[in-house]
């Protein structure tokens, strides 16, 4: 009894230590779960995993007292990832670090066989972790095109005249834009997570469960295309209001429920293939799905008694490892950095080699979201040409939630969509030994087109890849105690009668003259 009480107290201490260490990443996770529909399922995942582990309590109570010191190694690796995530400002690394620490603690407490008995619930926790932004942006962009094509196909099938240009559906009097929120990714991710759970509960062969999980991808894409087609029909009948507000949300909810019932129907159909089983056997209690697996599960759970001392000794050592590391994490989070002196952007010249600038402020909601320390935003004109919009955001110390992020995630806004994204070398400017390598994005909204150049100035480096920025953040934080840097972005509209090459030339000319001034405000 006293042993069980000490185990509960130790576990409470573990929860407190992990909660303190990973507080920022847990707050970020929760904000994604409740703030975005893409991961609205995430808040349920820990409870589902906890219930599945509780279902395995009989098996866990019979796990033998095998040595499980390997859990310490897993925890140590997870804590190393914690340091990497802190210095590189990558929340996904911190989330994965916390997951590895949890897995290591499970191994230390239950042993290898005990951890195997709850392998799925532990692995299922990964479905609650948001994917990196660049993956979401790329996937969403492709899904938008597929959904638009399917939506137009559905409309034409029922006799509605519709044409597609990119992700815009032209109904003649009304144009429907399939924006990122309608790409279908908010169906794909929750449905894939649900399909994975259904496959675990599905009492049948492995190949059938794999088919079930993979089928969630085409189901979500096709039903989202059907939803867009249905919205088009309603707009044709009742006007543009049918595409907004309650109707839009209600249609989305109905489609998701239809996709769920399609998964149930698919399970029933797969159960009829091969061996004849009773219909109720498809949804039996939470056990392994066939006889061979059931035998393996029973063998894994067989042992001489309850959890014995060796795993608990390893578990206590794991806690002893976490406690001092929690203090170290405080030092990492509160570290002081040596940022060099610089000139504030308020003094950035508004006249540069014939370019006349007009500054204007960012809206407060963008300032709160971007969390930079200083910025400049201005339109520069040379003669009667289209202006060049210049934006630079400086970060004195880049931390979690306060670091330069790729414009790829925010360029598709206000109806703008990325048509192409490439890299380009700009001519060498004074003080630069090599050409400036930048990202070049072409964004479109209807007949309007804009060209955007952007790069990351991180200390003396000019970088185009957001994740290479994270590598240098990690290196410079250790070697130089510096993580200061900036994002620089130039943009200009393709005016009437202008070609893209003309706009490229205009942007390159301004990039050269602005680059000469930039070092005073973003020091090397």
Q: Using an 8 Å Cβ cutoff, are 235 and 161 in contact?
A: no
Q: Is 283 helix (H, G, I), strand (E, B) or coil?
A: helix
DSSP H helices, 22-127, are 23-35, 45-55, 57-61, 70-88, 91-117, 119-124
Q: How far apart are CA 72 and CA 497, in angstroms?
A: 66
Residue 445's pLDDT is 75
Say how many CA atoms lie within 13 Å of 275 toward its Cβ: 10
Residue 2's pLDDT is 55
Ranges of the chain whose pLDDT falls below 70:
1-4, 63-67, 133-134, 137-138, 140-142, 144-148, 151-152, 154-156, 158-184, 232-252, 275-312, 401, 409-415, 428-434, 446
Q: How far apart are CA 260 and CA 411, in angstroms?
A: 33
Residue 172's pLDDT is 58
- Per residue, the 3-state secondary structure of 322-381, as one string, reads HHHHHHHHHHHHCCCCCCCCCCCHHHCCCEECCEEEEECCCCHHHHHHHCCCEEEEEEEE
Q: Is 67 helix (H, G, I), strand (E, B) or coil?
A: coil
Give which of 104, 105, 109 is closest to 67, Cα–Cα: 109
Give which of 312, 325, 145, 113 is closest to 225, Cα–Cα: 145
CA 201 to chain centre: 27
Q: What are phi and psi of 105, to 5 degrees?
A: -65, -40
């Amino acid at each position: 009894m006293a042993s069980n009480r000490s185990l509960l107290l130790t576990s409470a201490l573990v929860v407190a230590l992990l909660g303190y260490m990973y507080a920022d990443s847990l707050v970020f996770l929760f904000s994604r779960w409740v703030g975005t529909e893409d991961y609205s399922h995430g808040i349920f995942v820990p409870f589902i995993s906890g219930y599945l582990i509780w279902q395995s309590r009989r098996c866990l109570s019979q796990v033998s007292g095998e040595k499980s010191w390997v859990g310490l190694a897993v925890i140590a690796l997870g804590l190393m990832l914690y340091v990497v995530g802190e210095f590189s400002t990558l929340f996904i690394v911190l989330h994965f670090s916390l997951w590895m620490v949890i897995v290591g603690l499970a191994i230390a407490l239950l042993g290898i066989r005990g951890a195997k008995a709850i392998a799925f619930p532990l692995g299922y926790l990964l479905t609650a972790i948001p994917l990196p932004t660049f993956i979401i942006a790329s996937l969403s962009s492709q899904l938008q095109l597929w959904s638009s094509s399917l939506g137009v196909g559905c409309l034409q099938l029922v006799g509605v005249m519709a044409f597609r240009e990119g992700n815009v559906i032209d109904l003649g009097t009304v144009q429907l834009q399939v924006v990122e929120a309608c790409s279908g990714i908010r169906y794909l991710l929750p449905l894939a997570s649900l399909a994975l759970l259904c496959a675990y509960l599905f009492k049948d062969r492995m190949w059938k469960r794999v088919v079930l999980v993979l089928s969630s991808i085409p189901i979500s894409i096709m039903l989202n295309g059907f939803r867009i087609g249905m919205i088009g029909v309603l707009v044709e009948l009742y006007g543009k209001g049918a595409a907004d507000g309650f109707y839009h949300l209600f249609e989305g909810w109905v489609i998701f429920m239809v996709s769920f019932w399609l998964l149930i129907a698919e399970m029933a159909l797969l159960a009829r293939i091969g061996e004849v089983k009773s219909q109720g056997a498809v949804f039996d209690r939470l056990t392994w799905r066939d006889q061979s697996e059931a035998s393996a599960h029973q063998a894994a759970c067989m042992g001489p008694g309850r959890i014995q001392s060796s795993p608990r000794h390893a578990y206590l050592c794991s806690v002893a490892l976490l406690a001092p590391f929690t203090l170290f994490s405080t030092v990492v989070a509160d570290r002081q950095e040596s940022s060099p002196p610089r000139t504030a952007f308020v003094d950035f010249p508004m006249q540069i080699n014939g370019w006349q600038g007009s500054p204007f402020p960012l809206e407060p909601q963008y300032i709160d979201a971007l969390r930079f320390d200083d910025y400049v935003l201005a339109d520069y004109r040379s003669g009667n040409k289209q202006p060049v919009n210049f934006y630079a955001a400086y970060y004195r110390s880049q931390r979690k939630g306060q670091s330069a992020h790729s414009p790829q995630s925010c360029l598709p806004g206000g109806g703008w969509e990325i048509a192409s994204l490439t890299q380009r070398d700009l001519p060498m400017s004074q003080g630069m030994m090599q050409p400036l390598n930048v990202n070049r994005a072409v964004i479109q909204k209807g007949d309007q087109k804009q060209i955007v150049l952007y790069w990351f100035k991180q200390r003396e480096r000019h970088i185009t890849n957001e994740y290479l920025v994270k590598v240098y953040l990690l290196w410079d934080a250790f070697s130089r105690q510096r993580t200061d840097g900036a994002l620089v972005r130039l943009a200009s509209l393709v005016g009437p009668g202008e070609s893209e090459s003309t706009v490229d030339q205009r942007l390159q000319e301004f990039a050269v003259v602005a680059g000469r001034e930039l070092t005073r405000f973003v020091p090397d």
